[in-house]
Amino acid sequence: MIEKTLSIIKPDAVERELGDSIKKIFLNNGLNISKSKKVKITKQEASEFYKVHETKPFYEELCAYLSSGPIIVMILEGENAILKNREIMGATNPKDAAEGTIRKLYGISIDKNSVHGSDSLDNATKEINFFFKN
C-alpha cells in the first residue's frame, strides 16, 4: 500500500549539515520526499507534537531538545512508507541500530538520534497534519 509518513531531521543532524545525506538515503531506498521544509519550533509546539510521550520521564528533555535548533520536516511517500522509514532509521538508540541505518551512521545518543519517523498510520496522519496543515 502506498503510504505517507512524517520524517524529521533533528537538530543534531541539521547542525552537522547532514540533511542532504539523510535525504539521499530515503531516496535510494525508494521513498519519495513530497514536501520538505526547515523550521524551528517552540518548546510549546514540541510538547504538543510529542504529547504521546507526556507521561515518560524523558518528556521534558525531549521537548527542550526538539525545539533547541532548526529541524527539517518532510513527508515521505512510497510503498509501506511507515515501516520502511522505520527500517531505514534503525533502532531508537543508535547503540542498538543495525549497520547501514541512519541512526547507526549518524546518531550520537538516544536523544540525539538524528531522525524521527511516525510509528503508525494514525500517528503519521496526525504528525503530517501538525506540520503541513493545508
Q: At its nearest, how many Å lie between ligand CMP and the CB of residue 53?
A: 6
Based on CB atoms, which residue is closest to ligand CMP, 130 or 134?
A: 130
Nearest Cα residue to 69 out of 4, 15, 8: 15
Give me the residues that bind ligand CMP (CB under 6 A), please: 53, 58, 62, 92, 110-111, 113, 116
Nearest Cα residue to 41 out of 11, 75, 16, 85: 11
Q: What is the separation, in whole angstroms, between the first and last Cα of the chain? A: 23
* 116, 124, 128, 131: the active-site residue: 116
> Do the Cβ atoms of 70 and 76 come closer than 8 Å?
no
Question: Is-catalytic flag, 53?
Answer: no
Q: Which residue is nearest to ligand CMP (CB)?
A: 116
Q: At its nearest, how many Å lie between ligand CMP and the CB of residue 66?
A: 8
